[in-house]
Amino acid sequence: MAAATKTYTPKALAAEIGVDAKVLRAYLRKNNPRPVEAKNTSWIIPAKVAAEAKVAFKKNEATSK
């Protein structure tokens, strides 16, 4: 039996990464667009997409200090 895959909300993932939720949502819209049908619904970010976002924002860490 497969283990449940962790999912995130934009707010929770943004807090974990250390960026503003608006910045994260803009990144997600550009790099992982949701289907039109998902507009105005709660975002559920799968672990794979969250990992990609963590890597992308990790690159900015050195310049943000």
Indicate whether 1 pLDDT > 50.
Answer: no
What pLDDT is stored for residue 5 in this prediction? 77
11-65 pLDDT, tens digit each = 999 999 999 999 999 999 999 998 899 889 999 999 999 999 999 998 766 554 4
H/E stretch holding 7: strand 7-8
What pLDDT is stored for residue 18 in this prediction? 93
- What is the pTM assigned to this prediction? 0.78
CB atoms within 10 A of CB 31: 11
Q: Are 53 and 27 in contact (CB under 8 A)?
A: yes
